[in-house]
């Protein structure tokens, strides 16, 4: 390989590896009313705990059905919600909440339910 190409390749590799440290830190923390802290999955979470798209929602917004979950939200129920929304989620697609609370991630808009976290169901 000619010397010029090796220098260019070395420069590209240095730029690439030095840029890795500038990637987002990953998913932000979830906070529950009980003081339990855990992290949302990276796929689900964009932003931080103040401006991100994931947050805990009230149990009053969730109805458990034979088909899974019915989630009804209005302004004030989630930081991104500006108008009434009704989502459904099969139980098989819900992610396990690590604090026994419901959490919802909306991305890229308030119209798209990206991830829903639910506590384990007990029978």
- pLDDT in single tens digits along all 123 residues of the chain: 555 555 454 444 444 443 333 334 445 778 666 777 889 999 998 877 777 899 999 999 999 999 899 999 999 999 999 999 999 999 999 999 999 899 999 999 999 999 999 998 754
Using CA atoms, how far residue 20 sits from 1, 42, 50, in Å, is 27, 16, 25
Residue 26 is assigned to a structural domain of this protein = no
Does the model's pTM come out above 0.85? no
Is beta strand 102-106 parallel, antiparallel or unpaired with respect to 29-31? unpaired
Q: What is the domain extent for residue 52?
A: 32-118
Q: Is 59 left (phi over 0), alpha (psi -120 to 50) or beta?
A: alpha
The span from the CA of 89 to the CA of 32, in Å, is: 22
Residue 79 is assigned to a structural domain of this protein = yes
The number of domains in the chain is 1
Q: What six digits make up the tokens of 112?
A: 């798209």
């Amino acid at each position: 390989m000619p010397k010029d190409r090796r220098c260019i390749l070395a420069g590209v590799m240095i730029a690439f590896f030095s840029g890795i440290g500038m990637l987002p830190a990953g998913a932000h923390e979830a906070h529950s009313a009980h003081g339990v802290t855990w992290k949302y999955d990276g796929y689900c979470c964009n932003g931080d705990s103040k401006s991100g798209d994931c947050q805990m929602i009230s149990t009053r917004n969730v109805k458990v059905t034979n088909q899974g979950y019915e989630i009804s939200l209005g302004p004030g129920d989630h930081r991104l919600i500006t108008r009434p929304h009704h989502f459904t989620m099969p139980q098989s697609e819900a992610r396990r909440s690590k604090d026994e609370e419901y959490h919802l991630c909306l991305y890229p808009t308030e119209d798209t339910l990206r991830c829903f976290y639910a506590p384990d169901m007990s029978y």
